[in-house]
Structure 1
Amino acid sequence: MLSFKKCAITAIAAIAMAGVSLMGSTGAQAQKKFPNGPVIIQVPFAPGGGADRTFRLFAPYLSQELGVPVKVTNVAGGGGWVSWSQVTGQWDGEKDDHKLAVVNIPHIFSMLNPAMKRTETLESFNFLAWHSYDPGLWLVRWDDERFRNLEDVIAYAEKNPLIVAVGSHGGDDHVGMAFAAKAVPALKNVKMIFSDTGDNGKIQFLLGKNVDMIAGNVGYYINGIMERKMRPISVLHDEPWALLPSVATFQETTGKPNITYAGRTLATANGLSEEKRAIYLAAIEKAMSNPEYIARERANKNVLMFRSGDEMWKLLRAGQKVAEDAAYWEEAKK
């Protein structure tokens, strides 16, 4: 009997030790798994804006691919730079490896403005992927007999003041018009009206005949074009855009490249390991390929465009070149 009890106790002890060993192994595996906790997407603007809506919509699909919750937080201020200063100057590749940052293009290029006194460059950011891309678009009223194309607008501007409604100061609308004013002499004296109520405000300006033209982005204006309220006259892209294949690019009309757009990218902390970068990239690409997500973004008029590596950097540098050439901050010196 004593021998039996000893054997039983020994067996129980062995099972217990095996259980402890298994638990330890499972815990170690959980620690090695990446990501092993909630991931944060940091949006550089206040809740309710375009970037905020887009990434709150994206979060559950990215969560599905990463296998952990994905939450959106907002760090607004400084035209995006309150957030971006944290990303480039404070985030650590190990401590902040569960954070992603939204970086908006061309807003980031305000760092080129000497008055901003910023020292960052594109290389200061650990860009992961391009998320969405919506090229610039110029439109006039559909029933405005003065303008059928960009040539008509330029000819008009040679003899008359041209008034154009744009979005925020330093945004892609502003950059595109500032570049055009330098590239085409007839557009040098264009008067820009900044809309503090976004695209809706610009449309009201145009349809109310308070401006001659508006500068926006393709995605938002498709419905207005289909309803024949607005006529697209120029796409600010390097080739005709798929949604508006018959609309000439600025370069086709003037011979000067003018590539401006509303772009959103995702970046992470500098120093993040390549292994972790690869995990994020694969998850982002797969989430952006989800048919349900694509359909929901299409309904929101947001044009998804996944790019990474060299393709992404080509877009970034092309955008910077236009911002440098436009140098919209020089307007204040005139």
Structure 2
Amino acid sequence: MRTFTRRVVLGVAMAGAAAFAALPQAVAQDAWPDGPVTIVVPFAAGGSADRVARNIAPFLEEELGTSVVVENRAGAAGQIGTMQVLARPADGNTILLHAQPYLSASIVLQGAQFGIDDFEVLNVHNVGNISVTVRSDAPYETFDDLHQAIMENPGSMSMGTVRGGASHLLALLLKDKLGWENRLVTYDSGAPVRTAILGGQIDASTNGAVSDAAMKPKVRSLAVSTSTGISAFSDAPYLNDALEQYGAEVPEIGDVRFLAVKAGTKEAYPERFQALLDAYEAVMENEEYQALLQTQGAAEETSFRGPEEGTEIVRNMHELMTEYQSAFQQ
């Protein structure tokens, strides 16, 4: 058997190191992406989160130079798809497109086998304004009109909202901050809430402002939840402005749709994490993509906020869900 001396071994090692150093820098660091990137949507096809993923996918393909596949993994209020993302490597090849407060509802209310720290946010894609909406023929011209009616008729007035969503959280906040004793009627999605308000089955609703605006002139908005407002309800005041006369204030919240990767990705593959961010930001600046958002009425609510601000928004919503979890369970 041939015996290798220490000098020979060192010589081979040094030659190998020199050869590696001579490789193109991009290959030496990380030739990525080397396959498809997958966006997992833990909800059924056709919903708002799915639409965001399918809108952005072809533009991300152009920026990343690889195919971007959208997978719908619905079930257990988003838990099935989320668990599938966490079962895959933290390598940047899988992106989760989720929504708040639904992610936190799974954690806080349903005992999901994951936590808020299991994700690294790339960006909060949009924050959907919530409208306090009534029928146009309702006797409430202003938010104060609705407030006075609820205070004068404790227990008799109803407000519709989407169960477990940001609109539900806002309805609970209004009850808490204003001392309302109104009935909350919860629905599985925004569509039946809109049907109920048009049919006069409920007195008012908290629901997605963009979708509610599509019902004009049959409805009017008494207030919207974020200070950016919405052009379709341009005459609706910012909710906290409407609440000021009662000495009340609520956090600025909305339906938050965000993209994230599995925790540990940034540390293990910082170049990939940055590449995803750069590609994402480039998509948001793409004129064709912005035109698409305009046609869908989503441009006002969509922007590139980045990981730091996005993480803050996602975590603030989680804290609110934790604070109000007992009210959700009533």
Measured against the shorter chain, the TM-score band is 0.7 to 0.9
Matched, 1:266 2:259: yes
Conservation of the 8 A alpha-carbon contact between 1:250 and 1:258:
no
How far apart are 1:68 and its partner, in Å? 0.5
Indicate the percent of aligned positions where both proteins have the same amino acid: 23
The 1-side partners of 2:42 and 2:219 are apart by 32
The 2-side partners of 1:210 and 1:93 are apart by 48
1:277 aligns to what?
A: 273
Matched, 1:129 2:123: yes
The amino acid of 2:103's aligned partner reads I
270 and 293 in structure 1: CA distance in 2 versus 1, 3 angstrom threshold: same
How far apart are 1:112 and its partner, in Å? 5.0
Conservation of the 8 A alpha-carbon contact between 1:180 and 1:258:
no
How far apart are 1:30 and its partner, in Å? 10
Matched, 1:204 2:200: no
The amino acid of 1:91's aligned partner reads R
How far apart are 1:236 and its partner, in Å? 1.6
The 2-side partners of 1:271 and 1:112 are apart by 20
118 and 32 in structure 1: CA distance in 2 versus 1, 3 angstrom threshold: closer
155 and 200 in structure 1: CA distance in 2 versus 1, 3 angstrom threshold: same
331 and 216 in structure 1: CA distance in 2 versus 1, 3 angstrom threshold: closer
How far apart are 1:193 and its partner, in Å? 2.3
The 2-side partners of 1:331 and 1:217 are apart by 19
How far apart are 1:29 and its partner, in Å? 4.0
Of 285, 293, 296 in structure 2, the residue corresponding to residue 297 of structure 1 is: 293
Task: Note the 1:57-96 alignment, pairs <5 A.
Answer: 57-88=55-86, 90-94=87-91
Structure 2 unpaired stretches of 5+? 1-18
Matched, 1:250 2:239: yes
SS at match of 2:215: helix
Task: Note the 1:32-181 alignment, pairs <5 A.
Answer: 32-88=30-86, 90-94=87-91, 97-111=92-106, 113=108, 116-118=110-112, 120-144=114-138, 146-160=139-153, 161-167=156-162, 169-181=163-175
The amino acid of 2:124's aligned partner reads W
How far apart are 1:85 and its partner, in Å? 2.6
Task: Note the 1:311-330 alignment, pairs <5 A.
Answer: 311-327=309-325, 329-330=326-327
How far apart are 1:212 and its partner, in Å? 0.8
Aligned CA RMSD, in angstroms, stands at 2.5
259 and 320 in structure 1: CA distance in 2 versus 1, 3 angstrom threshold: farther
2:229 aligns to what?
A: 241
SS at match of 1:252: helix
Q: Identify which range, 293-302 or 68-77, moves more after superposition.
A: 293-302
Conservation of the 8 A alpha-carbon contact between 2:164 and 2:328:
no
The 2-side partners of 1:71 and 1:174 are apart by 32
- TM-score normalised per structure 2: 0.81
The 1-side partners of 2:28 and 2:288 are apart by 30
The 2-side partners of 1:129 and 1:147 are apart by 38
323 and 149 in structure 1: CA distance in 2 versus 1, 3 angstrom threshold: farther
The amino acid of 1:50's aligned partner reads S
How far apart are 1:315 and its partner, in Å? 1.7
The 2-side partners of 1:36 and 1:132 are apart by 29
The 2-side partners of 1:72 and 1:117 are apart by 27
204 and 119 in structure 1: CA distance in 2 versus 1, 3 angstrom threshold: closer
282 and 320 in structure 1: CA distance in 2 versus 1, 3 angstrom threshold: same
The 2-side partners of 1:112 and 1:74 are apart by 20
The 2-side partners of 1:199 and 1:231 are apart by 16
Conservation of the 8 A alpha-carbon contact between 2:194 and 2:212:
no
Q: Could you give the per-residue CA deviations for residues 168-219 of structure 1, whole angstroms, max 9, x where no partner exists?
A: x21112111112111111x2x32222334x4332222112211111211222
The amino acid of 1:296's aligned partner reads L
Conservation of the 8 A alpha-carbon contact between 1:35 and 1:68:
yes
Q: Identify which range, 64-73 or 293-302, moves more after superposition.
A: 293-302
- TM-score normalised per structure 1: 0.81
Conservation of the 8 A alpha-carbon contact between 1:44 and 1:76:
yes
- Count of residue correspondences: 297
SS at match of 1:143: coil
How far apart are 1:133 and its partner, in Å? 1.6
How far apart are 1:63 and its partner, in Å? 0.4
1:190 aligns to what?
A: 182
How far apart are 1:283 and its partner, in Å? 0.4
The 2-side partners of 1:92 and 1:282 are apart by 21
119 and 259 in structure 1: CA distance in 2 versus 1, 3 angstrom threshold: farther
SS at match of 2:214: helix
Conservation of the 8 A alpha-carbon contact between 1:138 and 1:233:
yes
Conservation of the 8 A alpha-carbon contact between 1:93 and 1:271:
yes
